Structure 1
Amino acid sequence: MSNFITIFTPTYNRAHLLERLYKNLCEQEYQNFEWLIIDDGSTDNTREIIENYKREGKLNIQYFYKENGGKHTAINFGLEKAQSDIFFLLDSDDFLEKSATKVVAEKWDVIRNTPSLCGIVGLSKFLNKEVRTDAFPEDDWVVSFTDIYFKYKILGDKPVAFKTSVMKEFPFPYKKGIHFVFEAVSWHEMAKKYNVLAVNDLLQYKEYTEDGITRNTYKKDYVKGLAFSFFHLVKNRTYPFAKYPHHFLWNYIHLAINSLLSGESYFNQLSLIDKIIYLMFYPRAYYTYSKLKDKVV
């Protein structure tokens, strides 16, 4: 087993969290990996801390600084810098089970030799709140990433390690001024072409912090990102109507709601049929917007 892994961490002003993650990676049972850190414009002492870690020489650390653009732009940039075929995503406020890299490396031969598979999905555990995280119905389960959530109703944020080459096929869209694009825009588009190998191994511990994306529900930048994200889900037909009719239609409603909340309209960029569906559900979207508009800050 000699599979080289890129552990990818995008970070922004999280210097206070890096020590725990660094120690955690030093304790991994399988050490054949690089730790690729993309600093998305931090103004704290992130660079200084990482340079100290590099001088210690315990890990293969690759550090790059870029102008702040949001996690999705950091992922795109990280894909350009990754030195391995395995792109294992790990946020700065999370950390790994000690056996995580070993599990990924052991399973990777199956992934590499199966063109229809794009990566591995494992299990996570939340530390700072009660969150339901379902196991999979079977181990080494070949399944569409989208079907995990929409067809089989399996809940919980799942850690992922994807083929670097496949992720490069589905980069996140970019628009100046948009600092958030949710991961389904890439992950679920990928699922139209590839399956994943779902394993019932605990790989990751998660902890959402107060400044984390998940708690910025009504910030203006966040709803701008939601509008942009739902626009791409609609435009790309990410959820085909024949397979996911509910989610297909809800994308139009969410696009309208978040366009109204953010003041960012994508209506003129829609196809004729998309405009018709959008207008059909606009009254419902406007009703929800009227309930939420005063909560956007």
Structure 2
Amino acid sequence: MTGSVPHRPVQSGHARPEAPAGPPIFTVFTATFNRAHTLPRVYDSLTRQTLRAFEWVVVDDGSTDGTRELVEGWAARAAFPVRYLYQPNAGKPAALNRGVQVARGELFLNLDSDDTCVPTALERLLHHWHAIPEAERSQFTGVTGLCLDERGKLHGRPYRRAVMDSDSLEMHFRYRDRWERWGFHRTDVLRAFPFPVDPDARFVSESVVWFRIARRYRTRFVNEALRSYHVAERRPDQLTALSRGAMRGRLPYHVMVLTELREWWRPAPLEFVRSALAYSRYSYTLGVGRTEQLRAVHGPMRVLVALAQPAGWLVSRLDRRLP
């Protein structure tokens, strides 16, 4: 494996500049639901950014814990624009779509409500974006780097090379890259690929959108850890907590694998087996019977689903206790 991974990028030696005039380069986006106890960590990491050409858009998905007062207080004194938007609880896909719609930045960066980024995060992401030749940049959606856990340890493995130009389909199916990563997309690309919104799910597997984007755009992947992923504090009150609704949100991913991505069968057959099992399990749990499950898939994937159905049915019996 080539390429080295700095555990923490060295901070720039220059003084932190003031926010420049004109539109921001980045829209940093945070969707939140009852996370007032962790949001200060996000805000503090943004106040330390060496690059100041950004805005922070917070979409509150129905919090009842004082999130509004907290964020509006920061908006009154922050050295960068802070925009607070409230919506009745509708889930992260709806929150993401709203954030993309109102974003003023050319580049859209999602930062979760319980995580942080290193002080040079925006500066380094922009550096890697500008390192893509300008004549080729329209073919790219963004830049993605590595993550650390809350103890400063690299989450997963680094990329095979220090810089890789690829896409999320190839990274997932060919290179088996399943670790926590972090990066931005062009805002105009995200506007062209909105997240599906299901009022009964309030969640959808983000890979459904990332894979559709990957069919048209490339991503630059870099071996630089810029975000801290606080694994220990992932709790069931998050926007993606497991429930029947979450199963509804995960089901489209497995349908997509089985019906749209058959060209990846050869490099990743086990991924299709996993999706067949999950598809059958979730379908049974949500009341979709054997015949209807088979009707939705075709060719070899129908055979695979048929073989997975007995195991899917058995596991679905345990799901009856889910809310």
TM-score class, shorter-chain normalisation, is 0.7 to 0.9
Q: Given the alignment, which residue of 166, 177, 185 partners 2:200? A: 177
Q: Given residue 210 of structure 1, which amino acid in structure 2 is its aligned partner? A: R
Q: 1:126 to 1:266 in 2, by over 3 A?
A: farther
Instruction: Give the RMSD, CA atoms, in angstroms.
Output: 2.9
Return the alpha-carbon distance in structure 1 between the equivalents of residues 299 and 159 of structure 2. 38
Is 1:100–2:121 an aligned residue pair? yes
Contact 2:92 2:202 in 1 (8 A): yes
Secondary structure at 1:159's aligned position in 2? strand
Secondary structure at 1:91's aligned position in 2? coil
Contact 1:227 1:262 in 2 (8 A): no
Return the alpha-carbon distance in structure 1 between the equivalents of residues 188 and 267 of structure 2. 27
Aligned to 2:318: 294
Aligned to 2:244: 220
Contact 1:227 1:264 in 2 (8 A): no
Aligned to 1:153: 176
Contact 2:258 2:275 in 1 (8 A): yes
Contact 2:280 2:312 in 1 (8 A): no
Q: Given residue 101 of structure 1, which amino acid in structure 2 is its aligned partner? A: L
Secondary structure at 1:14's aligned position in 2? coil
Gaps of 5+ in 1: none
Aligned to 2:67: 46
Q: How many Å apart are 1:150 and its aligned residue?
A: 2.1
Aligned to 2:81: 60
Q: How many Å apart are 1:13 and its aligned residue?
A: 1.1
Q: 1:40 to 1:270 in 2, by over 3 A?
A: farther
Aligned to 1:251: 275
Q: Given the alignment, which residue of 164, 185, 188 partners 1:141? A: 164
Contact 1:188 1:238 in 2 (8 A): no
Aligned to 1:120: 143
Note the alpha carbon deviations across 1:67-99, whole angstroms, 9 max, x for none: 212111111111101101101111001110111
Return the alpha-carbon distance in structure 2 between the equivalents of residues 65 and 250 of structure 1. 37
Aligned to 1:198: 221
Q: What is the aligned length?
A: 294
With 46-55 and 282-291 compared, the bigger mean Cα shift is at 282-291
Aligned to 1:231: 255
Identity of aligned residues (%): 24
With 207-216 and 287-296 compared, the bigger mean Cα shift is at 207-216
Q: Given the alignment, which residue of 308, 315, 319 partners 1:284? A: 308
Secondary structure at 1:240's aligned position in 2? helix
Q: 1:157 to 1:264 in 2, by over 3 A?
A: farther
Note the alpha carbon deviations across 1:239-267, whole angstroms, 9 max, x for none: 53466562356434322221112335797
Contact 1:6 1:34 in 2 (8 A): yes
Secondary structure at 2:219's aligned position in 1? strand
Return the alpha-carbon distance in structure 2 between the equivalents of residues 258 and 8 of structure 1. 31
Is 1:211–2:232 an aligned residue pair? no
Q: 1:265 to 1:138 in 2, by over 3 A?
A: same
Q: Given residue 282 of structure 2, which amino acid in structure 1 is its aligned partner? A: N
Q: 1:145 to 1:175 in 2, by over 3 A?
A: same
Q: Given residue 187 of structure 2, which amino acid in structure 1 is its aligned partner? A: T
Return the alpha-carbon distance in structure 2 between the equivalents of residues 111 and 38 of structure 1. 31
Return the alpha-carbon distance in structure 1 between the equivalents of residues 99 and 172 of structure 2. 26
Return the alpha-carbon distance in structure 2 between the equivalents of residues 238 and 83 of structure 1. 34
The two structures have a TM-score, normalised by structure 2, of 0.80
Gaps of 5+ in 2: 1-19
Is 1:72–2:97 an aligned residue pair? no
